[in-house]
Structure 1
Amino acid sequence: MTQYAIVTDLNRCVGCLGCSVACKILNGVPVGSYWNKVLRIGPFPKTEGAKWPDVYTYWLPLQCQHCENPECVKVCPTGASTKREDGTVQVDKEKCIGCQFCAMACPYGVRYLNEAEGVVEKCTLCEQKLSEGELPQCVAQCGARARFFGDLDEGIGSFKGAGKIPQDGDKSYESVMKTFCTLDEVCEPYTDADIHHLTDVGNGPNVAYILRDGMWRGEE
């Protein structure tokens, strides 16, 4: 069974907000709303009682988690919210009545009402780009190569990120966007203990985060 998801290496993320801006531009997200927002977590002392500069901070991109058992789908009275065969959770705007039951049921607050259209919106993992064999916009535009997209059934090491700029040949934007690197090719080594998820309240969040040498506080 396919389960598309995004993995972010928090040790590589620099908090530039490029993913959030790229998402808003491509998907026409209204001012004041976000499909992908970046939170600052910290600063926290590296050891008990420590003070600056012995502190650490990391940036946490927050979006729809495309859950295994999404609560938003369960409470939708019209069937507008569905979990597809590729594992993504999508909203059919033709069926959505804007009741916001799904937004209230989401544990992560990543849905909102588009008041102009009267429908609920959220991250779609850029399904329009996936259908063309491209990466979600937030992954493609990550300058730090911290975000990767793929199928969890194939292991996160195989997840794809934006391509490397070649030493020779075509270095154009269009060419680079058609090449990919994998998470294991780019990222520092990690263990299973370094892989984290947001709080699971029975919904099974699928978006994952890698954090080494730091206390995971994404659940708070």
Structure 2
Amino acid sequence: MSDHSAPRPEARSAPAVLASMPWIVVLLGVGLLAVLLVFALLSFRGPEQPPAPEPAPPMYLPRMPSVTSSVTPPADSPLVAVDATPSVTVSGTPSPRASTRRPTATPTSRAPAAGSGRVSADYQATSSDRDSFSARLTVRNTTGGAREWRVELLFTGNVKSIRASSDSGLSVRTQGTGWFVLTGTRPLPAGESAVVSMNFDRTGTGDQPGQCTVNGADCTIG
């Protein structure tokens, strides 16, 4: 007689299938997550950068030729005072550049140079103290027309500077230590005189020039 209470094989396999189903779900979920991760990585990946272009060849500009210019310096402008080598102008316009050759500082004859038909000059010291002295220069025109005049005074090295003035217009320049050139800024009319007042700074003694000329002729030194 057969036992109908024994379990059938088909009845025992159903619970085993049900027990393995959660692992299947887990595997499917892991696979789905892997697919989503790959998709996310691909979507966040930036576009590929194109390769940098090769640099352009250097450009060479033509070199411009250098240009040099020479500027002729203007003539020395006269100043207000004379000390050693600078130039001086008390009034009027500057005179032409004087010669730079220094005359020989030797005493000249004191014979009067005034006379008819020429421009003459008289130099006379008016006062003197320890470090300076004053003098007066009188230029006369005894010709028949207006004349330009130029007086050169040459002292020894102890005379350092000059300050001069004249109502008729005067330009004063120095050619070196103790060598002064006084020039009228306008022609001196016939029969008239120009009086120049001068103050000199010095060391030592002496108030008369070793040489005085007016337009190249000797002055009268008194």
Q: TM-score range by the shorter chain?
A: under 0.3
TM-score w.r.t. length of structure 1: 0.23
Query: With CA pairs under 8 Å and 6+ residues apart, which has the higher RCO, 1 or 2?
Result: 1
Larger Rg: 1 or 2?
2
More strand by share: 2
Higher fraction of helix: 1
